[in-house]
Chain A
Amino acid sequence: MSNHNEHAEEHKHTIGYGTYTIIWFALLALTAVTVAVAGINLGEYTLFVAMVVAAIKAMIVINVFMHIKFDDLIVKWLLGFCGFIFAVMFLFLAFDVLLRY
């Protein structure tokens, strides 16, 4: 944060249509996985598996479609911070909801 050229390095990276198409199919495949897993009785792990698949999809979208993979380090940190706060909120809610009864 100490210099003012944080955004001097513009987004030079371009992603080809081929990559976008692969990513699209990957997202569709993961959606199919979510639907398929929903049909299997995994007991208490159902939510966990669904969340892991969703997290992988989110990572792909954030990194490729949102170009964060090619962005400045500070943007990655800021995004990571948002993710951290989000995770803490889930954790704190879980303290109450999972342990209440």
Chain B
Amino acid sequence: MSAEVNNTVSFYKTEKGIGSWLYTTDHKRIAIMYLAAIILFFLVGMTLGLLMRLEVAFSGKTIFDAQTYNSVFTLHGVIMVFLVIIPGIPAVFGNFFLPIQIGADDVSFPRINMLSFYLYVLGGLIAIYSIVIGMLNGGVGIIDTGWTFYVPYSLTTTTSVDLPLFAAFLLGFSSILTGMNFVSTIHRMRAPGMDMFKMPLFCWGLYSTAWIQVLATPIIGITIVLVLLERFIHIGIFDPNLGGDPVLFQHMFWIYSHPAVYIMVIPAMGLVSDILATFARRQIFGYKIMAISSMAIALVGYFVYAHHMFTSGMNDTAKVIFSFFTFMVAVPTGVKIFNWVATMYKGSMDMKSPLLFVFAFIFIFSIGGLTGLFLGALQTDIHLHDTYFVVAHFHYVMFGGGIFIFFAGLHYWFPKMFGKMYNEGVAKLVVLLLFVGFNTLYFPMFIMGYNGMPRRYYESLPEYLPLHKLSTLGALILVSGVLIMVTNLIYALYKGKKAEDNPWNSLTLEWTHTQTPPTIYNFNEAPSVTAGPYDYPDFSEEGGH
């Protein structure tokens, strides 16, 4: 970018035309493109999920046959995990706001950031292409392994497995590059005075996550390569017929995929802290321990992965160790939930929609976390493994944790990103619909799973059908909430009132030191940081007891 670029108008107006988007290295434009792609993929994944719910709500064939059902739940999982939730908050809000929150003009490596985006797009396109060739001319069929690609089935199925695996490989690289960029940006690009412990907690969340992205993602990459080699040239590493070890695949898969859950949730936790501090007008209770607990979750999160494998024939010593660490990871998570609640205590609450999303998150995520302990305990896991209980648990964590806060972030930062205000009343209605819909959809699954309903089954016994129907009703409520939300935000883009620079009176740099929307270099001059991100005046002392 040349020195003559106009740094007084919004970054949308600096350059025009499709080329200005396709060739951009601006972190904000890349974030907006990620946002568009991720919302699109989310709507596709959601539609597949709704179709699944409609299918299982009634006995026999309702919409599609059993084989198609296998493909649909696989695609739902692959899209939601690899294309929506993992990139979600880091790629969109991390890209847009991490540099601004630490007072930088861009990420450390803007071109690698662009490469990261294009790898994401390529991965998404290959995944879609695999679906198309799976369906066409009586093709090989769409991938039906489940999103976990477990061997030995993924080695023997004749459906289109290779392309989705390759897509996941590319998406992994996109994620690694983003993580590397964020670690480097945080270490090298902080503004004068912006100590590590003056960063907003969202940055700490991204920092912890970035380390997981850099350290864990290569393992899924090599695992995918090994599966492909096994499929093509039968090297005998996972295939038991050739002396391979299928449980080794599970180890390698979960070494990445369990920390991936923290990739989804830790940035969300950081964002929760930012939103809570803003709308409670309070200093975050225990700021330092919140920052450290993000790192602690990331670290301990590496050591728990094999709790996915308690019933896979793993050694008993290993099971005990992994169960112990699984319980350990609940401690920093508990610290966070306690501190959020303590932050709100005696706060001056401003009940705006982002805060309501956070309330929903705390409620839902607490249930998700608690039920995780049921599954992390060796005994109960034997009963609950591969039942709907697990499905409910991970939706409470990944959807209730990752996506709810993605939506919260969307409502929190929408004015800054687009310079427009959405209809607050409609946004509140959306929170209500999502909250009611979500719990109606997923809570019955806990009961079904506890009673023995296995996951991934096309048919169910008659005693489960009433709860399946209730769950499907919840899905319809949830989907209506999402559609209203998307409509509300798109309407706001065109007809919304102009947003002020700092509509929430927040204290972090993106609100206090940038225009709405920000200029191309974010700041006219590098901000000098003297205060913490949450130094709100202390109301609690004045309010009396």
> A-side interface residues toward B, CB under 8 Å?
1-2, 4, 6-7, 74, 78, 82, 85, 88-89, 92-93, 95-97, 99-100
Residues of chain B lying within 8 A (CB to CB) of residue A95: 315, 317-318, 321
16 contacts between A and B (CB under 8 A): A1-B187, A1-B196, A4-B192, A6-B188, A89-B302, A92-B318, A92-B321, A92-B322, A93-B248, A96-B251, A96-B306, A96-B318, A97-B245, A99-B315, A99-B318, A100-B314
C-alpha gap A82/B216 in the complex (Å): 10
Contacting residues of chain B (292-333) with chain A, CB-CB under 8 angstroms: 302-303, 306, 313-315, 317-318, 321-322
1/0 per position for B205-228, CB-CB distance to A under 8 A? 000000000110001000000000
Taking the nearest CB of chain A, how far is it from the CB of B256, in angstroms? 10
In the complex, which residue of chain A has the Cβ closest to the Cβ of B193? Answer: A4
Given A95-B315, A96-B247, A97-B245, 19 additional A-B pairs, CB 8 A: A2-B195, A2-B196, A4-B190, A6-B187, A6-B188, A7-B188, A78-B183, A85-B215, A88-B303, A89-B302, A93-B248, A93-B251, A95-B317, A96-B306, A96-B315, A97-B248, A99-B315, A100-B314, A100-B315
In the complex, which residue of chain A has the Cβ closest to the Cβ of B250? Answer: A96
Residues of chain A lying within 8 A (CB to CB) of residue B248: 93, 97
C-alpha gap A100/B313 in the complex (Å): 8
1/0 per position for B476-513, CB-CB distance to A under 8 A? 00000000000000000000000000000000000000
In the complex, which residue of chain A has the Cβ closest to the Cβ of B325? Answer: A92
Set B247, B302, B306: member contacting A85, Cβ < 8 A = B302
Q: DSSP majority for the B interface?
A: helix
C-alpha gap A6/B269 in the complex (Å): 29
Residues of chain B lying within 8 A (CB to CB) of residue A92: 303, 306, 318, 321-322
Question: Which are the 3 A-B pairs with shortest beta-carbon distances?
Answer: A95-B318, A96-B318, A99-B315
Whether A88 lies near B302 (C-beta < 8 A) is yes
Tell which of A6, A78, A88, A97 has the most Cβ of chain B within 10 Å.
Answer: A97
Taking the nearest CB of chain B, how far is it from the CB of A82, in angstroms? 6
In the complex, which residue of chain A has the Cβ closest to the Cβ of B321? Answer: A95
Judge whether B92 is part of the interface by a CB distance below 8 angstroms.
no
Judge whether B255 is part of the interface by a CB distance below 8 angstroms.
yes
C-alpha gap A85/B251 in the complex (Å): 15
C-alpha gap A92/B255 in the complex (Å): 10
